[in-house]
Every structure is written in structure tokens, then in C-alpha cells.
Amino acid sequence: MTGMHGNPAFTRRRVLVGGAATVAVLSVGGFATGGRPPKPLPEPPAPAAPTTHRHSLTAAERPVHLLGPDRPASPLWTYGDAPLTAIRARRGDVLEARLENRLAEHTSVHWHGIRLPNAMDGVPYMTQPPVLPGEAFDYRFTLPDTGTFFFHPHCNTVEQVGRGLAGVLVVDGDAPQPYAADLLCLLKDWRLDQATGRFLDFQTDAGAAKAGTFGTLRSTNFAAAPVVRVPAGRDVRVRVLNLDVTRISQVGVMDAEAAVIAIDGNAVSPFPLVAWRMGPAMRLDLVVRAPAPGASARVVDYFAKEPVTLMTLVGDGAAPGTATDFDPAPLFAPALPEPDLRNAETLPFVFSSTAVDQTIETPAGGTIDLGRSLCLNTATYWAINRQTWPERGHEFPPPPLAELKLGRSYVFELANVSPHMHPIHLHGHSFKVLDSNKVERPVHWADTVLLTPKERARIAFVADNPGRWMFHCHIIEHQDTGMMGYVTVA
């Protein structure tokens, strides 16, 4: 442990983070301000003249030695020769990305968390035609927000993302001053047969109907928990992304002071990190005070019997001459439209297991069997407002869960009536997480909120982006077995 000097708001956490047992008694949000008033976020500067970034994403199978250099390679699906594709740009820049499909099935790219035009949202049939094998699709849009984002396919997602098809998108311009280092910490599990390196079934009935089917091998940045050298005693930024399809991690930092500075890419007034639960798709930006020369600190997952090391930071070089208190400056405020809560319309959404008829009537008078879906699934276990995502739902979508009026403010009351956790994601908008009956969290902007069992949480946003926007659980087996729908904004 580092010394006990420093800002009282941040040192109080030192006592709490003694071990997993201590953390377990804290609220699951792991939110504690240390009794200090939140620091106001500075207004962001106007974006500089935009640059256009061109990238090619070639979805193809490529062998990667995930099990170790002497073990058989695994047939990953990736966007490039390096398994981890990372795109970097600045707020206001234009991203042009050409997807080429060299897989044997159709795919697309969804830019998770980016407030872009509906036609660029990458949902096959809903927002664009599926990109068939051998075909290409050109994405082009402006990046309106800074932060840590990612992208992934949106059909047969449990297999496509399960095989590695995903990338990171970092939009710079949120930091008033640079950090001593800026690290990615991308969490993802793999379901691999140890002997052959081949993939195991991506979905199981037992998993899909409960907490999901877990991988057999954990990884950070597509490798075993890496050891990273960082400038000793200085403040480094660590961007944690949960890109697994199933696992919920409870992220903390051991043996160093750490603060949360952004959630899902959106700045928050910095607060000490105790342990933050991250479902699939969720991101957390941290500032960590790097350890003394030669000493180490660990980013860990507390959601296990013993904390699991995700990444080790080792102090490198000479520490700064004078030690300063750990007191990270806030990032620039998110440039998001503030919902008008007094005039907002409130809509309830209930997340449950399936307890509905297995067929629904189509507007044309036919019936749709709910037991199958286009994306290769044969089972339906989950529902939103008692509605599931039907067979061939992308081609013949069910009615929307809600029809929102362009420019209006909405409060969504989310109720999880199941005994499982669900990270709930809305496309095309960032929402404000207002409150919850169970979890203490700061009011913050997000694109995904983790509903714990029996939790009711309220989110609010301005429906300012026209189109059909998917609204679903990001535990992919839940999404693919019914816990998906969409809202329209017009």
C-alpha cells in the first residue's frame, strides 16, 4: 500500500479497499465521495478544425495464439492483422471506415455509444442492409463526443464478438492537461478448448436462460494479464472496457490511489474508485497514481473469491521530486443536451424472463413464431415489456417499444423483475442515470446502465436523434434470446 498522506477524500478509500471482503459490503456501485462536494466540470473548448480519419476494417478469420505461444492457435475473427483494432480521433473529426466482409456470414459495424445518424448505426435490416460475404460498406460520420467507445457487429453477436470481432474507438479532447500515460485495459473472455484451441459453443441453453455462458480464459488487451511500465509516481489514465459478451466484473485498483473520471466515455466529477461493477459494453476511465519506482499496483476484478489481476502497473524511472496529493482534475464536461425533467414524459420498461405466448400477430394478419430469431437462435428466454425479439425480427421488426417525439425529454423507468443482472443499452443517445432504488451511483451520463436483480432505475434524455434505435440487454445471450427491442424517434 502507498502512504496514507494526501487528500482526505481519496485517502478514506484506502481503508475500504483492504480486500475483497471489505469491498463486498459496500454498495454494488462502489460509489463513495468521501464526503467532499463534487468538483464542477470545466466547459469544453470548441472543437478544432475537423480532420478526416480513414480506416479499413477487414472482418476475417485470423489465427491468434491466445492459449500461449506453444499451444495451438485459435481461429479468431478480427478487423485487422493485429487482433486489437484501436481507432483514435478527436471530437468533431470525421471517421470514414470501410468494412470489408471476408467472413462466411453477414455482418455490420455498430458504433456503440456514438451519437451518429441512424443510417450509420450498423444494425442489419433496421438501419442498413446486412453486409454479405464478399461485400463492403462505407461508414462515415462525425464524432460528436469525446471519450472511450468501442464498435462491434450486431447480428449473431454472441459468436462474432465471442470470436473477437470488436475494436476500440478513443475520441480525444476531454483532458485539460495530458496524463503521464494513457492505457487501454480491454477485458474479454474466450470459450476455448484447451487441447485444440478451437472455440466451444458460444451459447448454451443453461447460460442463456440465466447469467450467460462464461468463457474459459480471461484476457486483457487480447493477452494474459499484462504488466505495463508506467512513469513512477505520476498520474496515468487507464481506460477500462468490458467487451466480454457475458461477464460482469467489479473493477478496482489495489496498492495505488485511483479515481473514476468518466463513465461510458462521459466525464464525471472525479470520485475515489472503490469497486465499480461493469457489465458487458460498459467503460470506466480511471486516473491512477503510478507506484514508486519498481513497485507495482494492480487493476483487479473483485467479483470473485480472490481478486483477479487484470493488469499490473509497475513504476518506472524516477518519481517526481516533490510528492503531490492525489487529486485528479476533472475532464471537460460532456456536451450533451440536458433533459427537461419537469416536462419529460415517463415511460416504464420491465425487463423479465419470457412469460408470453410464443407467437405474435403481424400487422398483415399472419403470425410470427417467437421461438426463433434471425440471428441463429432457437430459444427465447427474455422480454422487455413482455415483448420479445421475434424470429426474423431484423427483417420484419416487431412494433417499437415506444414512439418518441423528436426533441422531447423522456424519463425511462427501468425495472428488472428477474433475478439476474442486465446491462441495458440504448443506441443513438446518451442518457443521464438519475437514481435507483438499490444502487448508490453518482448522477452520470451513460449509454449502458447495469440493472441489478430487482432494481428499478430511472434514466433521462432528450430524444434528439431521429431514427429507429435499438434498446437491449448487452449480455449478448439475453439480447439474442429476446431482451431486445427498439424505440423510434420522429
| Whole-number Cα distances in Å, 167 to 42, 50, 175, 187, 227 | 30, 22, 22, 12, 21
| Closer by beta carbon to ligand C2O, 78 or else 309 | 78
Q: Are 150 and 118 in contact (CB under 8 A)?
A: no
Each residue 274-293 as x (binds ligand C2O by CB under 6 A) or -, in order, gives -------x------------
Residue 69: Cβ-neighbour burial (10 angstroms; 0-12, 13-18, 19+):
exposed
User: Binding partner of residue 331 among Cu ion, ligand C2O, none, CB under 5 to 8 Å per kind?
Assistant: none
Kindly state whether residue 432 participates in binding ligand C2O, applying the rule CB under 6 A: no
Kindly state whether residue 110 participates in binding ligand C2O, applying the rule CB under 6 A: yes
**Minimum distance from residue 280 beta carbon to Cu ion (Å):** 9
| Closer by beta carbon to Cu ion, 246 or else 250 | 246
Kindly state whether residue 427 participates in binding ligand C2O, applying the rule CB under 6 A: yes
Kindly state whether residue 59 participates in binding Cu ion, applying the rule CB under 5 A: no
How many whole angstroms separate alpha carbon 456 and alpha carbon 300?
A: 28
In angstroms, what is the C-alpha Rg of the chain? Answer: 22
- Judged by CB under 6 A, the residue of 283, 298, 420, 472 near ligand C2O is 472
Q: Which of 308, 305, 315 is nearest to 254 (CA)?
A: 308
Locate 325 and state its grid cell.
Answer: 496529493
User: Binding partner of residue 473 among Cu ion, ligand C2O, none, CB under 5 to 8 Å per kind?
Assistant: Cu ion
| Closer by beta carbon to ligand C2O, 241 or else 300 | 241
Kindly state whether residue 188 participates in binding ligand C2O, applying the rule CB under 6 A: no
Q: With CB under 5 A as the contact rule, which of the stretches 70-78, 96-104, 294-302, 471-479 interacts with Cu ion?
A: 471-479
How many whole angstroms separate alpha carbon 262 and alpha carbon 267?
A: 4
Q: How far is CA 350 from the centre of its chain?
A: 21
Q: Which of residues 121-180 bind ligand C2O (CB under 6 A)?
A: 152, 154
| Whole-number Cα distances in Å, 336 to 114, 210, 429, 470 | 12, 35, 9, 20
Q: Which of residues 350-379 bind ligand C2O (CB under 6 A)?
A: none
Q: Are 236 and 181 in contact (CB under 8 A)?
A: yes
E strands, 191-234, in order: 217-220, 227-231
Q: Are 345 and 460 in contact (CB under 8 A)?
A: no
| Whole-number Cα distances in Å, 209 to 311, 419, 421, 479 | 31, 11, 12, 11
How many whole angstroms separate alpha carbon 449 and alpha carbon 480?
A: 18
User: Binding partner of residue 289 among Cu ion, ligand C2O, none, CB under 5 to 8 Å per kind?
Assistant: none
**Minimum distance from residue 280 beta carbon to ligand C2O (Å):** 8
User: Binding partner of residue 62 among Cu ion, ligand C2O, none, CB under 5 to 8 Å per kind?
Assistant: none
| Closer by beta carbon to ligand C2O, 128 or else 269 | 128
Q: With CB under 5 A as the contact rule, which of the stretches 40-48, 139-147, 216-224, 416-424 interacts with Cu ion?
A: 416-424
Kindly state whether residue 422 participates in binding ligand C2O, applying the rule CB under 6 A: no
> What is the total residue count of the chain?
490
| Closer by beta carbon to ligand C2O, 154 or else 237 | 154
Backbone angles phi, psi at 315, to 5 degrees: -65, 130
| Closer by beta carbon to ligand C2O, 152 or else 429 | 152
User: Binding partner of residue 478 among ligand C2O, Cu ion, none, CB under 5 to 8 Å per kind?
Assistant: Cu ion
Q: With CB under 6 A as the contact rule, which of the stretches 55-63, 77-85, 221-229, 469-477 interacts with ligand C2O?
A: 469-477
How many whole angstroms separate alpha carbon 220 and alpha carbon 84?
A: 10
**Minimum distance from residue 225 beta carbon to ligand C2O (Å):** 24
Q: Which of residues 186-205 bind Cu ion (CB under 5 A)?
A: none
DSSP alpha helices (H): ranges in 32-175?
157-162
Residue that has been written with the C-alpha cell 478496482 in this structure: 252
User: Binding partner of residue 154 among ligand C2O, Cu ion, none, CB under 5 to 8 Å per kind?
Assistant: ligand C2O
Kindly state whether residue 444 participates in binding ligand C2O, applying the rule CB under 6 A: no
Q: Which of 479, 422, 481 is nearest to 154 (CA)?
A: 479
Q: With CB under 5 A as the contact rule, which of the stretches 107-115, 183-191, 264-272, 419-427 interacts with Cu ion?
A: 419-427
Kindly state whether residue 475 participates in binding Cu ion, applying the rule CB under 5 A: yes
- Judged by CB under 6 A, the residue of 158, 470, 483, 487 near ligand C2O is 470
Q: Are 240 and 283 in contact (CB under 8 A)?
A: yes
| Closer by beta carbon to ligand C2O, 230 or else 241 | 241
Kindly state whether residue 422 participates in binding Cu ion, applying the rule CB under 5 A: yes
Kindly state whether residue 112 participates in binding ligand C2O, applying the rule CB under 6 A: yes
**Minimum distance from residue 427 beta carbon to ligand C2O (Å):** 6
Q: Which of 456, 469, 472 is nearest to 415 (CA)?
A: 456
DSSP notation for 13-71? HHHHTT-HHHHHTS-TT-B--TTPPPPPPPPPPPP-S--EEEEEEEEEEEEE--S-TTS
User: Binding partner of residue 237 among Cu ion, ligand C2O, none, CB under 5 to 8 Å per kind?
Assistant: none
| Closer by beta carbon to ligand C2O, 122 or else 197 | 122
Q: Are 299 and 242 in contact (CB under 8 A)?
A: no
Kindly state whether residue 425 participates in binding ligand C2O, applying the rule CB under 6 A: yes
DSSP 433: E
> What residues make contact with Cu ion under the rule CB under 5 A?
422, 473, 475, 478
> What residues make contact with ligand C2O under the rule CB under 6 A?
110, 112, 152, 154, 281, 425, 427, 470, 472, 474
